[in-house]
């Protein structure tokens, strides 16, 4: 685990924004063919890790702004083996600055859209995932990630404490995400280069 001091909030915020913007720009610059090829390699590493973790309820995120598209992989995961023992879930933002909930997702189901245009199940009971696949714009070896700055995953993961697997492209790897006291590190990071146990993860 890194022992570097936590920088002042103002300095850290500026540094985090710069790192986030750079990682996002690099990801959006990928061609469709490059993104598909890299995602295929991510899927292979993710498949091995998820087999090891063996969740009954696995949550993922709808691809947004060039993130790895895991929908086809999730569909295959649901269909593999006894699908009755497997449930996929998507996060739903019910209110601003509050934890998200997860609802069951099935391939082809009708979805609603949030204010960012991200699809989610329009109704259904909240379920608690065993493992959550969390998108990363940027990430460090300790498992700290940079999302979009809203803090939704930090609040959500703190309340349910699943195994958190950060998923992103290797181009998003950075020396430090300048973590703040409220940040929750990922337990694992998966990129096209492999699946890595996060250094700051307590499990």
For the stretch 99-158, pLDDT in tens is 999 999 999 999 999 888 899 999 999 999 999 999 999 999 999 999 998 889 999 999
CATH 3.40.50.10420 fits 9-197, yes or no: yes
Q: Give the residue from 15, 42, 56, 39 showing the smallest Cα distance to 140.
A: 15
Its pTM stands at 0.90
Q: Closest by alpha carbon to 56, among 76, 83, 94?
A: 83
Give me the residue spans of the domains in the chain: 9-197
pLDDT confidence of residue 13: 85
Cβ neighbours around 198 below 10 Å, total: 23
Instruction: State the pLDDT at residue 132.
Output: 98
pLDDT for position 173: 97
Note the pLDDT of residue 28. 97
- Is residue 171 a contact partner of residue 39, using CB atoms and an 8 Å limit? no
By CB atoms closer than 10 A (0-12, 13-18, 19+), residue 60 is: buried
Best CA proximity match to 17, nearest among 118, 179, 154, 148: 148
- Positions of the chain with pLDDT under 70: 1-10, 81-84, 200-203
In this predicted structure, what is the pLDDT of residue 74? 97
Using DSSP's 3-state secondary structure scheme, residue 29 falls into coil
Q: Check residue 4 and give its pLDDT.
A: 42
Residue among 63, 58, 102 at smallest CA distance from 78:
58
């Amino acid at each position: 685990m890194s022992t570097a001091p936590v920088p002042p909030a103002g300095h850290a915020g500026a540094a985090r924004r710069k790192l986030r913007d750079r990682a996002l720009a690099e990801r959006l610059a990928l061609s469709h063919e490059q993104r598909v090829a890299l995602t295929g390699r991510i899927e292979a590493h993710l498949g091995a890790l998820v087999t090891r973790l063996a969740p009954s309820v696995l949550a993922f995120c709808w691809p947004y702004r060039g993130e790895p598209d895991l929908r086809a992989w999730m569909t295959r995961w649901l269909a593999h083996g006894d699908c009755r023992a497997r449930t996929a879930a998507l996060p739903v933002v019910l209110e601003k600055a509050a934890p998200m909930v997860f609802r069951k997702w099935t391939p082809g189901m009708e979805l609603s859209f949030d204010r960012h245009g991200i699809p989610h199940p329009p109704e259904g009971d909240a379920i608690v995932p065993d493992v959550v696949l969390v998108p990363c714009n940027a990430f460090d070896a300790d498992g700290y990630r940079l999302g979009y700055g809203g803090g939704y995953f930090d609040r959500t993961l703190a309340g349910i404490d699943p195994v958190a697997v950060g998923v992103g492209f290797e181009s998003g790897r950075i020396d430090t995400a300048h973590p703040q006291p409220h940040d929750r590190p990922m337990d694992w990071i998966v990129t096209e280069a492999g699946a890595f146990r996060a250094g700051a993860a307590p499990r």
